[in-house]
Structure 1
Amino acid sequence: MKALIFGLHLALLAPLCAVAQKSPVKFGEIPMDDMTMKTYTKDSSASAVILSDYGEAYITFTAVDANLSFERHVRIKILKKDGFDLADVEIPLYHEGTDEERVSKLKATTYNLENGKIVETDLSKDGIFKEKFNRNINLQKFTFPNVKEGSVLEYSYTLVSEFITNFPDWQFQYDVPVRRSEYWALFPEYFTFQKYMQGYIAPTVYEVKSKNNTDFRIDAHHWVTENVPAFKEEPFMTCKSDYVSKINLALSHITIPGQPIKEIMGTWQKLNTTLLESDGFGKTIAGSGFLKKKAEELTVGMTDPQQKVAAIFSYVQKSLEWNGTKDMYADNLKTVFENKKGTAADINLALASMLEKLDIPVDMVLLSTRDHGFVREQYPMASQFNYAVCSVTLGDKALLLDATDRFLPMGILPERCLNGQGLVISKTKHGWILIQPKAKARTVVNTELVLNPTGELKGKVKYTHEGYAAREFRQAYFAKGEQEYVKGFLADKTWEVESSEFQNQAEVSQSVNQLHALNINEHATVAGNMIYMNPFVVGQTKENIFKLEAREYPVDFGKPMEKTYLCRITLPDGYAVEELPKPRVIMLPNNAGKYTYSATQSGNQLNIVSMLQINKSLFVMDEYPHLREFYNQLVAKQAEQIVLKKL
């Protein structure tokens, strides 16, 4: 980038800043109305409110260099203890090689009202620290001192960066209300930026002010929002950053007079080429020669490519522990294997490298995980991705592999990866592919119970977990150990368990079973000569998970799911069925979901079958009313009672 700046012969910061205004509030001058505020009038439930959030970003030039500066000034009112987490501040710092973004002029003060006077507590230097987030991001962190209910928190800083392509976006909406948010983005005329708004909050002000310098024009883009409501997360959402109100900015290209246009954003094809030639990506796969011997040892005598892939996958999955970091560039793989631990990129590029050593066709697929946000294809930027998995071609089929999760079988991606499309990085097959779940979250509960006249139920309950449901069970089981797992499993149940048994815990390619022999004393109600009982001793959906009448965001289950409940109840002698729930089938349009319920009697036994199927992962906003009503009817059906009468 420095080479581009040589031809500009531009100087001085002052002409750039002259276009913009300053923060609408002065640091340290806190109105008494804000100090005495007990609740926020526009949202009485708010635990805190951002009183003012001001930002200004601009590029400064010298004859030999260019820097990006970002000034931030934030003021927050803490109303309840639930708002204390806003006292912990993180500032992301991008770094590459020896260059790193840096924070200067950091000030942070807590204001409390004591005996009618405002008492200030300043942040001390020992309250500031830095920690690694991932390969290219460190976090500058600090925590406000002396925070109480009623405190006002205020901080400001300037971030200076040599990475002018990382022009900061601006978020207007947070988990708490925002009284005023203001952002200035100053663009030199030679810099072309793509700008796109997201979310449902329209700016109160959007204007562009221009000022001609001696050598060039500055276009100052100005956004203001006021009284922004808190963002409310809803069930089955992906990354909330996909939906909060925000202005996104991306440097597209630089046009310097007398020089060729410099493409910054480029194309996906250019990114493909860059990654194939990158030390931490393509060259890591093609290199890492020490893996060849091990790959050959693991597959000696094998001729079936699928067998070879399975052997290598199992070895990497069991040998390398994922450290929790999502990444798409690997470190030195020899060091990774020595440490037996690594990032997602370390593990999956190691897998690709070992397969490549066996001449098995393998490519990498870039993803954005569900907590990172969806990818916008019209903006070809590597920063939209944060993860990479392998794509192996076996015959005419491509198999996606991720060896980071020891509780999933080969070919089933972790749920975090199920987020729309992926970009194949390949010499021959570059392009987009749809990332689809290859398994359901399936659970079958099978109960066999005997009902006594006292209302006690005695018998067995068997759970069978498959797909993502099995993965969830195994993670909890091995994290806690069997004894603690059983204790936690029974924590919300009024069961007396005589014995528990588990099957196939470690066999990830098989379903896993848990069986419990038990007595249940508080499920059925005896009233005179009547017994009232809900047939669901477990798994009843008691309330609709979708409470809002209208929804602004898609419902994303991530994967299809199926829950089956089978119950056989042997009735006590001398009792007859007075009321039995009627059979019911509830359908979503286009077979997107189905609920089936039946309760039948055969002699002295009752048989209940309940099956819920959600057959697709994503429901758009227009489908929400149908989905909400579907769950309303399901809840009502599962609430129906069985009534028995003594003869």
Structure 2
Amino acid sequence: MKFSKPLCLSILLLFVSKINAQEFKLGKVSIAELEQKVHPKDSSAAAAVLYTRGKTRIEYDENDGFINLTDVETRIKIYKKEGYNWANKGVWYYNTSNLPEKVSFTDAYTYNLIDGKVEKVKLKSEGIFDEVVDKFRGRKKITMPNVKEGSVVEFRYTIRSPRDNTIREWDFQATIPINYSEFITYIPQYYVFNSRQKGYVFPKITSIKNSKSIVFRNKERSLSGGTGVASTSFSTSKLDYSEIQTTYLAVDFPAIKEEAYVNNIDNYVSSIQHELSMTNFPNSPMKTYSTDWNSVVTTIYNYDDFGPELNKTGYFEEDLKTLLGDKKNADEKIIAILNHVKSNVKWNNYTGYTCDNGVRKAYKEKTGNIADINLILTAMLRYAGLTANPVLVSTRSNGISFFPNRNAFDYVIAAVETPSGNVLLDASDKFSTPNVLPLRTLNWLGRLIRKDGSSEEVDLMPKKASNDIVFINYSIDPEGKVTGKTRRQFTDYNAMITRENIFSLKEEEYLEKLENENNKIEVSDYSKTNEKDLLMPITESYSFAGNNLCEVIGGKIYVSPMLFFTNEKNPFKQEVREYPVDFGYPFLDKYNIIIRIPEGFAVETLPKPAIINMEDNLGSFKFNIASDGSTLQLNIQHQINEAIVSTDQYDMLKEYYKGMIAKETEKIVLKRI
């Protein structure tokens, strides 16, 4: 059957009008909502947001001028025990003397259906508490009472902020389905905000203009003629202005699913972000803000706790003269200065691109935040005659900086410009080396700022492969017990991660973890080299034994030749991949394996050699095996050449992993002779 265009349009308009006409009101929980056992469109959902509505209004306050008020009300259905955490809510707020925000919860109830009747339990004061997030922020949290499978919880919270220049990001997606999400902004004509959407599904947007006014109450005291008696007079004045009301509406948005090798799932959540672009108040000049990246970085560089800190050198000059006395070239200077800062200023676990203590105090007290440490590093590199500049970074947890704004960044590193390219440095991590940064910073692009205020993008993603080279020599006895030795060498990012793993545990704890993660092997004669020489590959060596590394069936021995190094599961299972695959860094895994088969046995079946190449030099897998009587020799190589793989290449990557895992899990079959 065919529909005419006018009829289709009528149906669409009717559908939209019904969506907009839906009435959601706190306290009006229905029996149907309580009776629902599973989500109608996602039976796997542990919970669902039945509706959530947020309103952000910039309005005038008699005492504080323009302020920001945000009201949010939410109703959530709990289907399974795994969804209980959705009955808790935390809202962060700034908690400093110059920026005191307030968060308050109201109308918070849990609803259950008991013997066909609705039971309503109110949130009590003991379920509301504050916690410290960091020295700048707190979090108001609630834990809803009497939550069960089938419960519906609802609550309202308000954020009152003296910041009239910020609108909080609103998410239309979560890791559970959201049936209805509405976000409304009310912005006076004096403000211009740039709005940006991200994600793969988008809300419907409508805007209208409202007439608003502010009434000012004036009080004047004066002396009446010649008597000296003071009198007070009152007057009012009125200012009319317009306000843009914008509504974002999302209906039946699916849960966003975690997938393997995703940088930060929040980067792909459907949301709306706002950044102040301009203000134009009556009787005041127009003021522009973050219109492009150059204006953003110029603003940041001119902060008192950023650019000026780079000009301070007196506190370290004597130390640096001694340190650099015999250093002849740039590489030697870079390493010496990097190690000096790492040894003398410890990270206090606070991020940020502006100084907390200030470079002088941080150096003296030997502790500071990221900006304190890496601006000290940058200043020292400049003092040593190197072309060094700070690079603004958004960490993985902060998300990708999609558009120009000061809040896009939460971190700063140093870069030294050399004829062969930038050398990126971070002195906050004791295991980092030149161009091997902490994993938290590997987040696509950073922004380098020069003294003259110019800036440019810096690719943070590594190009050089990090190696994991494994040598295994093992024997199989007639009962299938395996004994052997392993030597494993790591470079670059693999080396940094290995050092972090080794030094985070006592040796016996580390070895116990090594045994448990590798099919319950027994490890002995463990040793390591270059664990403290960061510029060298780190190497681990150990002997191992295992009774469950082979299968003995019907007098035959079945063994996966890579033993506990075998990749057994394909991490890429989705039919369609919506997000890029983020490996973090390119890598090369290489295995050289020698197997001695037991006396009285011969090879019945060997896996065949194989080569799998991906297009565009994305990666390759090579599997070679040779038999020499009682000895088998294998050479296996798995290489990925790009840190980030686009969604367009996902099908190819998925098939590559499928073929690789099929080959790695093929068994060698040994039979008695």
Instruction: Calculate the TM-score normalised by the size of structure 1.
Output: 0.90
Match for residue 381 of structure 1? 405
Which amino acid counterpart does residue 273 of structure 1 have in structure 2? T
Please say if 1:350 is aligned against 2:349.
Answer: no
Aligned-pair distance for 1:619? 1.4
Aligned-pair distance for 1:72? 0.7
d(CA) in 1 for partners of 2:21 and 2:316?
Answer: 57
Match for residue 418 of structure 1? 442
Match for residue 3 of structure 1? none
Decide whether aligned partners of structure 1 residues 568 and 153 sit closer, same or farther in structure 2, where only a CA change above 3 A counts. Answer: same
d(CA) in 1 for partners of 2:22 and 2:185?
Answer: 14
Aligned-pair distance for 1:305? 3.7
d(CA) in 1 for partners of 2:549 and 2:49?
Answer: 48
Alignment of 1:174-323 (within 5 A): 174-203=174-203, 205-213=204-212, 215-256=240-281, 259-287=284-312, 289-323=314-348
Instruction: Give the conservation status (yes or no) of the 8 Å contact 2:26–2:107.
Output: no
Decide whether aligned partners of structure 1 residues 487 and 339 sit closer, same or farther in structure 2, where only a CA change above 3 A counts. Answer: farther
Please say if 1:614 is aligned against 2:640.
Answer: yes
Match for residue 39 of structure 1? 38
Instruction: Give the conservation status (yes or no) of the 8 Å contact 1:194–1:251.
Output: yes
Instruction: Calculate the TM-score normalised by the size of structure 2.
Output: 0.87
Please say if 1:400 is aligned against 2:387.
Answer: no
Which amino acid counterpart does residue 212 of structure 1 have in structure 2? S
Aligned-pair distance for 1:117? 4.3
d(CA) in 1 for partners of 2:431 and 2:182?
Answer: 46
1:504 to 530, 533, 554: 530
Which amino acid counterpart does residue 571 of structure 1 have in structure 2? I
Match for residue 132 of structure 2? 131
Decide whether aligned partners of structure 1 residues 330 and 313 sit closer, same or farther in structure 2, where only a CA change above 3 A counts. Answer: same
Instruction: Give the conservation status (yes or no) of the 8 Å contact 1:88–1:144.
Output: yes
Decide whether aligned partners of structure 1 residues 397 and 572 sit closer, same or farther in structure 2, where only a CA change above 3 A counts. Answer: same
Which amino acid counterpart does residue 595 of structure 2 have in structure 1? I
Which amino acid counterpart does residue 122 of structure 1 have in structure 2? L
| Root mean square deviation of aligned Cα | 2.5
d(CA) in 1 for partners of 2:33 and 2:504?
Answer: 46
1:326 to 333, 351, 356: 351
Instruction: Give the conservation status (yes or no) of the 8 Å contact 2:560–2:566.
Output: no
Moved more, 569-578 or 207-216: 207-216
d(CA) in 1 for partners of 2:48 and 2:152?
Answer: 10
The count of residues paired between Structure 1 and Structure 2 equals 623
Aligned-pair distance for 1:245? 1.0
d(CA) in 1 for partners of 2:332 and 2:561?
Answer: 46
Offset from partner CA, 1:572-625 (integer Å, 9 cap, x none): 233222211111100110111100001111232101111100001121111111
Which amino acid counterpart does residue 509 of structure 1 have in structure 2? L
Match for residue 118 of structure 1? 119
Moved more, 76-85 or 401-410: 76-85
Aligned-pair distance for 1:631? 0.7
Alignment of 1:75-86 (within 5 A): 75-86=75-86
| SS in structure 2 of the partner of residue 86 of structure 1 | helix
Which amino acid counterpart does residue 646 of structure 1 have in structure 2? R
Offset from partner CA, 1:521-563 (integer Å, 9 cap, x none): 2222333453222112122111211001111111121210111
Instruction: Give the conservation status (yes or no) of the 8 Å contact 1:411–1:438.
Output: no
Moved more, 143-152 or 574-583: 143-152
Instruction: Give the conservation status (yes or no) of the 8 Å contact 1:444–1:563.
Output: yes
| SS in structure 2 of the partner of residue 538 of structure 1 | helix
Moved more, 402-411 or 84-93: 84-93
d(CA) in 2 for partners of 1:354 and 1:23?
Answer: 62
Offset from partner CA, 1:411-443 (integer Å, 9 cap, x none): 311222122221111114522222231543321
Decide whether aligned partners of structure 1 residues 527 and 211 sit closer, same or farther in structure 2, where only a CA change above 3 A counts. Answer: closer
d(CA) in 1 for partners of 2:105 and 2:526?
Answer: 61
Offset from partner CA, 1:131-190 (integer Å, 9 cap, x none): 13365x433333334433333222212212222221223210001111211111122234
Which amino acid counterpart does residue 424 of structure 2 have in structure 1? L
Offset from partner CA, 1:43-89 (integer Å, 9 cap, x none): 22111111111101111125782111111111222222222322332
Moved more, 249-258 or 35-44: 249-258
Alignment of 1:453-472 (within 5 A): 453-472=478-497
Decide whether aligned partners of structure 1 residues 454 and 132 sit closer, same or farther in structure 2, where only a CA change above 3 A counts. Answer: closer
Decide whether aligned partners of structure 1 residues 498 and 241 sit closer, same or farther in structure 2, where only a CA change above 3 A counts. Answer: closer
Larger Rg: 2
Which amino acid counterpart does residue 532 of structure 2 have in structure 1? A
| SS in structure 2 of the partner of residue 234 of structure 1 | coil
Aligned-pair distance for 1:292? 2.4
d(CA) in 2 for partners of 1:120 and 1:291?
Answer: 62
| SS in structure 2 of the partner of residue 398 of structure 1 | strand
Quote the sequence identity (%): 30
d(CA) in 2 for partners of 1:235 and 1:573?
Answer: 43
Which amino acid counterpart does residue 25 of structure 2 have in structure 1? K
Decide whether aligned partners of structure 1 residues 539 and 105 sit closer, same or farther in structure 2, where only a CA change above 3 A counts. Answer: closer
Segments of structure 1 that go 5 or more residues without pairing to the other structure are 1-20
Match for residue 661 of structure 2? 635
Match for residue 30 of structure 1? 29
Instruction: Give the conservation status (yes or no) of the 8 Å contact 2:300–2:306.
Output: yes
Instruction: Give the conservation status (yes or no) of the 8 Å contact 2:127–2:145.
Output: no
Decide whether aligned partners of structure 1 residues 623 and 134 sit closer, same or farther in structure 2, where only a CA change above 3 A counts. Answer: farther
Aligned-pair distance for 1:394? 4.4
Segments of structure 2 that go 5 or more residues without pairing to the other structure are 1-19, 214-239
Which amino acid counterpart does residue 57 of structure 1 have in structure 2? T
d(CA) in 2 for partners of 1:425 and 1:134?
Answer: 27
Aligned-pair distance for 1:628? 0.5
Which amino acid counterpart does residue 399 of structure 1 have in structure 2? V
Which amino acid counterpart does residue 578 of structure 1 have in structure 2? E
d(CA) in 1 for partners of 2:537 and 2:157?
Answer: 54
1:535 to 554, 561, 564: 561
